[in-house]
Amino acid sequence: MVDAVLPADAVVVARLRARDETMFAALIDAWSPGMVRAARAFVADDHTAQDVVQEAWLGVLRGIDGFQERSSLRTWVYRIVVNKAKTRGVRDARTVPASSLGLDDGPTVDPARFRGADDPYPGHWRSFPPAWPSPEDDAVAGETRRQLAAALAGLPDRQRVVVTLRDVSGHSSEEVCEMLSISAANQRVLLHRGRAALRATLEQHWIKEAMA
């Protein structure tokens, strides 16, 4: 079951408070894959992420009676999994401290790739980035996915978390700000820098492939 066919939040919450096992199972099926991806941004492996999600669902059951509906149910559930993943990450020595989610004011792209102030076209590309290859077959698409996963894992913690929540799990900017307790400006910068870093990594890969 996917989010689009779930009942409205008010209905889901009422059924969860009534301990409706069918409703709970539907939520687990619909949201657990995304929750695992979100947890994986904070912890060292998939198995640990799955453990975190199981703990989060127990937290949902224990806390549903006190849910005050100030946010969507989905945001509230994801906030639980993010908080539990942070705690587990600290315990397992892969931590994303709240302070690391602050604003990063370094350059997004190497300034040397742009024309200087004394150039007739200052600020323009010295040469355009190479076009990405089209996924013409399953092999190319599979290799792109592998490279992208490796590049995502290699991002700085704060960028990896935001890119995972936005681009992998599909959360809105408002939801991510709520989950991570960061400002909209921080979220935008971290997302932009993370996406730029992923593109740069993939660009270098395809350059090497073209030269091979």
Is the pTM here over 0.75, yes or no? no
| Class (C level, CATH) for 98-211 | mainly alpha
Domains 3-91 and 98-211 share a fold: no
Highest mean pLDDT among 18-22, 100-104, 108-112: 18-22
Q: Report the distance separating Cα 42 and Cα 109, nearest Å.
A: 25
What number does CATH give the domain 3-91?
A: 1.10.1740.10
**How large is the average pLDDT for residues 154-178?**
88
191 closest CA partner among 212, 211, 208, 174: 174
| CA pair distance 166, 106, nearest whole angstrom | 21
- First-to-last C-alpha distance (Å) of the chain: 45
In which residue are the tokens 């102030």 written? 117
The residue length of the chain stands at 212
Rounded distance, CA 55 to CA 50, Å?
A: 9
Q: Are 89 and 161 in contact, with CB atoms under 8 Å apart?
A: no
Closest CA to 75 of 33, 43, 36, 31: 31
pLDDT, tens digit, 9 for 90 and up, residues 65-95: 999 988 899 999 999 999 999 888 888 765 4
Distance CA 173, CA 162 (A): 9
Q: Which residues contact 120 (CB under 8 A, 6 or more apart)?
A: none
126-140 confidence digits (pLDDT tens): 555 555 455 555 555
Cβ(122)–Cβ(116) below 8 Å? yes
For the chain, the domains span 3-91, 98-211
Tokens of 200: 């740069």
Residue whose structure tokens are 């932009």: 192
**In the predicted structure, residue 26 carries a pLDDT above the cut 60:** yes
Place of tokens 């300034």: 111
Percentage of the chain beyond pLDDT 90 is 40
Please tell me what DSSP assigns to residue 66: G
**What does the pLDDT look like over 144-159, one tens digit per residue?**
778 888 888 888 888 8
Dihedral, CA of residue 91, residue 93, residue 94 and residue 98, to nearest 10: 70
Tell whether the model's pLDDT for residue 2 goes beyond 50.
Answer: no
